[in-house]
Amino acid sequence: MKRALIIDPYTRREIGSVCLTREELLKAVSNPIRVKILRLLSARPMYVRELAEELGINEQTAYYHVNELKRAGLISEVGVVKRKGAVARRLSTTIDGIAVIFREEVRREYERLPDFLDELLRYDRTIMVLSDPVAHGPYRGRGMDHHLAAQLAFYIGCKYGVDSELIVKLDTEMKPKDLRENLIIVGGPIANVVTAKLNKHLPIWFDETRDHSIVSKFSGRVYSDDENGVIEFIENPFNSEKAILVIAGKRHAGTKAAFIALTRRWRELSQPNKYEDSCIAHVIEGVDADGDGVLDDAEVLE
């Protein structure tokens, strides 16, 4: 019997196990009485006699259905008790449910990346621009996102391999000719001077007059929480034959949220902005799903 764990997509915690099955095993649960038996036994182990009483059926009928479920491997004996010379067997479920898989698709973590990265990385040279960790620029910002960028670079290498050429530079090392390449820019305008230079070209931009709140030209909304970030895939304004991916936040927490979204919300990010179907540009919000004070998930706000 092939099994799979059920993982809550928000808390990432295991909540049960199911039997992965096809049509033949469905026959074992085609009778509503057997489904009721499975529900009762999933709550607590029971004897056949108890099942018969609970369901309002005779023991012979209960035994018939129990034996069918045993043959299917859905229930098993978990205890034996002798009563008045007879043997009573306690039963319980072997799994928490059944799932029918119509199409099996296993994705490794590094394969869960937005589709637009293919255009940026496959068969082409790309520069990943990180913020210098030394205080620099008009805001004296420091790069704090290098560990996040390293994980993304690992995923990129696993997925695209030698088909792509990824070069990493600090924003303070960028020359005018470098700006004409395919770029992945990490960090907001406070920390990354290349993001600051590009800011006026972004459809979702950072407003310096409002403490670098994020402003969407599409919805007109202003996002002012530190956990807000952006993921934008745009044409390079310095070279129309190249593209730029911006992964940035109002603060470090917002940039972290954007990185989390790249692998957790990759399907949504592959789609255009809901207010403008000609542009891939999204606002992200970081979420502390398990309440431990650390961002571990992200939502796409637009």
**pLDDT of the chain along its 302 residues, tens only?**
566 667 665 554 667 777 666 566 778 888 999 999 999 999 999 999 999 999 999 999 999 999 999 988 889 998 887 766 677 889 999 888 877 766 665 555 556 789 899 888 877 899 999 999 999 999 999 999 899 999 899 888 888 877 778 999 999 999 999 999 999 999 999 999 999 999 999 999 999 999 999 999 999 999 999 999 999 999 999 999 999 999 999 999 999 999 999 988 999 999 999 999 999 999 999 999 888 889 999 999 99
CA distances from 271 to 42, 68, 77, 175, 237 (A): 41, 47, 50, 32, 21
Q: In which domain, by residue range, is 40 found? A: 2-100
Alpha helices in 122-206 (DSSP H): 146-160, 193-198
The answer to whether residues 221 and 92 belong to one domain is no
The answer to whether residues 54 and 162 belong to one domain is no
- Cβ pair 153, 145 in contact under 8 A: no
The answer to whether residues 95 and 186 belong to one domain is no
The answer to whether residues 56 and 120 belong to one domain is no
The answer to whether residues 131 and 280 belong to one domain is yes
What does the alpha-carbon distance between residue 218 and residue 63 come to, in Å, rounded to a whole number? 64
Q: Give residue 108's Cα distance to chain centre.
A: 12
Other beta carbons within 10 angstroms of residue 301's beta carbon come to 16
The answer to whether residues 51 and 80 belong to one domain is yes
Of the three residues 100, 130, 161, the one that is the final residue of a domain is 100
- Of the candidates 131, 144, 121, the residue with the CA atom closest to the CA atom of residue 193: 131
What does the alpha-carbon distance between residue 175 and residue 130 come to, in Å, rounded to a whole number? 14
* Count of domains observed in the chain: 2
What does the alpha-carbon distance between residue 77 and residue 55 come to, in Å, rounded to a whole number? 19
The answer to whether residues 155 and 178 belong to one domain is yes
CA distances from 263 to 100, 108, 199, 255 (A): 26, 10, 25, 14
The answer to whether residues 55 and 117 belong to one domain is no
- Of the candidates 152, 151, 129, 113, the residue with the CA atom closest to the CA atom of residue 246: 129
Residue 18, domain CATH: 1.10.10.10
The answer to whether residues 168 and 295 belong to one domain is yes
Spatial CB neighbours of 144, under 8 Å, sequence gap ≥ 6:
131, 133, 191, 252
The answer to whether residues 200 and 239 belong to one domain is yes
Residue 178, domain CATH: 3.30.379.10
The answer to whether residues 95 and 119 belong to one domain is no
Of the three residues 53, 72, 100, the one that is the final residue of a domain is 100
Q: Which residue has the tokens 């001077």?
A: 193
Q: Quick one: which H or E segment has residue 286?
A: strand 280-287
Of the three residues 73, 100, 127, the one that is the final residue of a domain is 100
In this prediction, residue 2 carries a pLDDT of: 67
| Overall pTM > 0.85 | no
The answer to whether residues 209 and 291 belong to one domain is yes
